[in-house]
Amino acid sequence: MRATLITGASMGIGEAFAREFARRGNSLVLVARSGERLAALAEELRSRKVEVLVCRQDLCRPDAPGRVHDFCLAHSISVDILVNCAGLSHASDFSAIPPEKAEELMSVNMLALARLSRLFAADMAADKKGGIINIASITGLQGVPGLGLYAATKAFVLSLTESMHEELKEHGVKVSAVCPGFIDTGFFQAAGHERTNEILPLSPPEVVVRAALKGLMKNRMRVYPTMLDTILAFSGRLVPRDTAVRLAGFLSGARAN
């Protein structure tokens, strides 16, 4: 069976990906920790006559990506599209971030994404087809005071995805990095952002999904889901770097303004 694998499918942008792929009739493998949420979503999507399997994993664990890959092998699933969406942030100056939170953030945002990409990219390259969508962020374009570690993990995602995009092109595999700005999910609350600090408008997760799928189809290296994201990304190149960093910190709302 061919299927689309989505990490972080239990809520937010990942859940929106799952709904859209189900609407398109794709079989799905949903990955996250929240078993009940995943089970409820799977149940709902199966009523649309698509196959949905749940693979509950804590992607902090170094062996989790291998377990996800083994799960697919055990169910005779060939993953045609991988969406690396699981991620978290933490609003804090870098020196004040609790060590265990820093480990969690780096493990999920970077290590799990890299391990999953490597495992499934090898299968796709052997198959001479497939697609990988890695969810980065516009915070990955420069340092962001108050959000430094998160921004650094997203810079990692961007850089790795760009290299993979070029390397896998000749093997028939499309790879895109998606750089959303401000999306209306539980993400900011979970990261401890003060909602009152938010200056810029939030877009619905479906905007990210539509842009990502269009971008992958055209094999775009980078995808900016909204006009605002595009403006923010390019305006950052027009000002001195330290100004861009200060502006990103101000706009992120991670610190009290």
Ligand X SMILES: NC(=O)c1ccc[n+]([C@@H]2O[C@H](COP(=O)([O-])OP(=O)(O)OC[C@H]3O[C@@H](n4cnc5c(N)ncnc54)[C@H](OP(=O)(O)O)[C@@H]3O)[C@@H](O)[C@H]2O)c1
* Residues that are catalytic: 150
For ligand X, the closer CB: 12 or 146: 12
> In 179-231, which ranges are E strands?
222-223
CB closer to ligand X, 35 vs 172: 35
Do residues 177 and 221 touch, judged by C-beta distance below 8 A? yes
Q: Helix, strand, coil shares of the chain as percentages rounded to 5?
A: 55, 15, 30
Nearest to 140 by CA among 105, 178, 102: 178
Q: How many whole angstroms separate alpha carbon 37 and alpha carbon 171?
A: 36
3-class SS at 62? coil
Nearer to ligand X, 114 or 125 (CB): 114
Q: Does 10 bind ligand X (CB under 6 A)?
A: yes
Out of 33, 101, 129, 210, name the contact with ligand X by CB under 6 A.
33
Nearer to ligand X, 50 or 144 (CB): 144
Residues 69-88 that bind ligand X (CB under 6 A): 85-88
Verify binding: residue 29, ligand X, rule CB under 6 A.
no
For position 211 contacting ligand X by CB under 6 A, the verdict is: no
Judge whether 196 and 214 are in contact, CB under 8 Å. Answer: no
Of the candidates 144, 143, 160, 163, which has an alpha carbon nearest to the alpha carbon of residue 250? 144
CB atoms within 10 A of CB 34: 13
Query: CA torsion, points 11, 15, 16, 18, in degrees to nearest 10?
Result: 180
Does 34 interact with ligand X (rule: CB under 6 A)? yes
Under rule CB under 6 A, residue 248 binds ligand X? no
Write the interaction track for ligand X spanning residues 169-208; mark x where CB under 6 A is met and - where it is not: -----------x-xx-xxx--x------------------
Q: Is 140 in the site for ligand X (CB under 6 A)?
A: no
- Minimum gap (Å) between residue 107 Cβ and ligand X: 7
Q: How far from chain centre, in Å, is Cα 61?
A: 18
| Under rule CB under 6 A, residue 155 binds ligand X | no
Rounded CA-CA distance 144/248 in Å is 5
Distance between CA atoms of residues 130 and 7, nearest Å = 16
Measured from the CB atom, the residue of 172 and 204 that comes closer to ligand X is 204
- Would you count residue 8 as binding ligand X (CB under 6 A)? yes
**Where in 86-105 is the site for ligand X (CB under 6 A)?**
86-88
Which stretch in 21-29, 30-38, 161-169, 237-245 sits in contact with ligand X by CB under 6 A?
A: 30-38
Residues within the interface to ligand X (CB under 6 A): 8, 10-14, 32-34, 58-60, 85-88, 108, 135, 137, 180, 182-183, 185-187, 190
